[in-house]
Amino acid sequence: MSAQSREGALEGLRTGSGIPDFSVVSGAQVKKVLAGREKEIAELVEYAYQLHDSGRTVNPPSHFLRFPDRPNARIIALPASLGGNVAVDGIKWISSFPDNVIRGVPRASAVLVLNDPETGYPYACLESSVISAVRTAASAAVAADWLSRERERPRRIGFVGTGLIARYIHIYLTATGWEFDSTGIHDLSAEHAEGFRGYLRGADGAGEIVVHDSVEELIRSSDLMVFATVAGTPHIHEAAWFSHHPLVLHISLRDLSPEIVLGAANVVDDVEHCLKADTSPHLAEQLIGGREFITGTLCDVMRGAVQLPEDRTVIFSPFGLGILDLAVGRHVWEESFRAGELTVIDEFFSELRRYG
């Protein structure tokens, strides 16, 4: 949708006061809009990264709500503003409650609120767990493409962690042209590993599917590694396991020891965001007291500003930027509007006259 038609969509929902009507987009609608559009969404995420690199975004630090009585749980607020042809302000509010998995429901739940750049009024609330997974997967696919352009394209992929994020990353990789001779799996839960293997059996491009009892065995047999766990502290400490120099998508950010990070070429989405909250790169910075181990950002790679070595492990550590959620969420809202499937809440804003 062009910038003009985007503005037309928003104008079409403005009331007589100039305030846009408020709408709700369900998870079912989100999935319907995004299904089969992986290449389009990957291009949108890449564009959002480029806007960020050129200074046309605002992406403040994420804010963590933690609970003394539930130390493994958190809710995170990601405010952001996106310019360019996808101008929108907003915030993602995403919870991570790992104990949900024991209850048989997903760990994460989220909503995304979109705000009108002209008036500041929120005009949509979208179910955002799928949007969050999709933007993460699209980011991983974009990174895997750019970071493998100067090396032999990996044919053996390994997944540590087999939840929703892992599934979406595999979907986005294969939808953007990746094919694998083998797909390795490791998960602390045999049930979850078997569930992921069941998904892979029905998917394209997986090749031979192997469930590994040993993380070491999985890493040594993979050229492209995906870490998508809920680890809060590093649990991978052996640098020798990476002696074959794989490409690593360190999506969960806290799996690798700082020593492994320091021995690799490190690419991040945003330096300031990634080097905080005790991520593995943040621990590496604390260990040596500097940031010289950071090779550059993904956009640095896109612009040719940095060269990646072929004789070292390359690690991509994305903190996850709120601008990506906004880009994907705005797209979902636009497509729902165009399809006539927005659920508009009448009189959501009821006090619009200053003096009654």
Give the model's pLDDT for residue 39: 98
* Mean pLDDT, rounded, of the chain: 93
What pLDDT, on the 0 to 100 scale, is given for residue 17? 61
Instruction: Mark residue 253 as left, alpha or beta (left: phi above 0; alpha: psi -120 to 50; beta: remaining).
Output: left
At 102 the pLDDT is 85
Residue range 247-274, pLDDT digits in tens: 999 999 999 999 999 999 999 999 999 9
How many other CB atoms are found less than 10 A from the CB of residue 239? 16
pLDDT > 70: percent of the chain: 95
For residues 307-327, give the mean pLDDT. 96
**CATH number of the 147-317 domain:** 3.40.50.720
Cα–Cα nearest to 297, from 279, 275, 327 = 275
Tokens of 173: 């990789």
Q: What is the pLDDT of residues 274-285, one digit of tens each?
A: 999 999 999 999
pLDDT at 9: 59
The answer on pLDDT for 241 being more than 80 is yes
Given a cut of 70, whether residue 12 has pLDDT beyond it is: no
Rg (CA), the chain: 21
Question: From CA 86, how far away is CA 98, in angstroms rounded?
Answer: 33
d(CA 305, CA 76): 32
pLDDT tens digit string along 320-353? 999 999 999 999 999 999 999 999 998 898 877 7
pLDDT tier for residue 3 given thresholds of 50, 70 and 90: very low
| Domain locations in the chain as residue ranges | 3-132+322-345, 147-317
Q: Strand, helix or coil at 6?
A: helix
* pLDDT value at 85 more than 90: no
2-21 mean pLDDT: 59
Say yes or no to pLDDT of 186 above 50: yes
pLDDT at 15 over 80: no
Query: In sequence order, what are the beta bridge partners of 22?
Result: 345
pLDDT at 6 over 60: no
Separation of alpha carbons 256 and 215, rounded Å? 12
Who has greater pLDDT, 205 or 261? 261
* Fold held by 3-132+322-345: ornithine cyclodeaminase, domain 1 (3.30.1780)
Q: What is the pLDDT of residues 27-43, one digit of tens each?
A: 999 999 999 999 999 99
Does the pLDDT of residue 2 top 60, yes or no? no
